[in-house]
Every structure is written in structure tokens, then in C-alpha cells.
Amino acid sequence: MSTLPLRVTVLDTWDTVELSLPTSTSIGEVKQQALVKAGVARPADTYLVKYLGAEVPEGSTLAAAGVAPNGALIVLPRRRRPVR
């Protein structure tokens, strides 16, 4: 099982989190780990993950999604929040 270095940007904090995970890791687990490292307290199910501009299903693995080494993923809220 090989590991894959990743850069995950969490939009709420604009932090880029660096992770190194097995290619068999689910996208949902990547999202969860990125949110924890960025210090986001909201529930993970209120966020989605995008890679190359498209939403990636949470049940798929990094390998199945075709994520490349040092691939950049984005974790962002499912719903837009109003600007105050």
C-alpha cells in the first residue's frame, strides 16, 4: 500500500493542510482529517471535497478519484453562507 502526499485547502480558514495518506483512504476520511487539522468545529457532513474543479464522492478512494501525488483538494461548505 503506497502513501500519497496531498495538499488540502480548507476554505473556511484558507489553511492548506499537508497530509500523507494511503491511496485506499476514502475522500470522506481525507475531509475529516483536513477539517480537524484546520481547527474547524462544524460537522463534516456540511462540507464537500473538490478535485480539479469537480466534486468527488466521499465514498470513493484517493486512487479511484485519480488524485495525483501532491494533488490539491479543496474542502468547502456545501451551502454558500451570506456575507454580512
49 and 57 Cβ atoms separated by less than 8 Å: no
At 75, the pLDDT band (50, 70, 90 cuts) reads very high
pLDDT at 37: 95
In a domain, 83, yes or no: no
pLDDT class of 38 with cuts at 50, 70, 90: very high
Residue 84, in any domain of the structure: no
7 part of a folded domain? yes
> What global pTM score does this model have?
0.87
CATH number for position 58: 3.10.20.90
How many folded domains does the chain comprise? Answer: 1
60 found inside a domain: yes
pLDDT at 81: 66
- Give the domain range for residue 9: 3-77
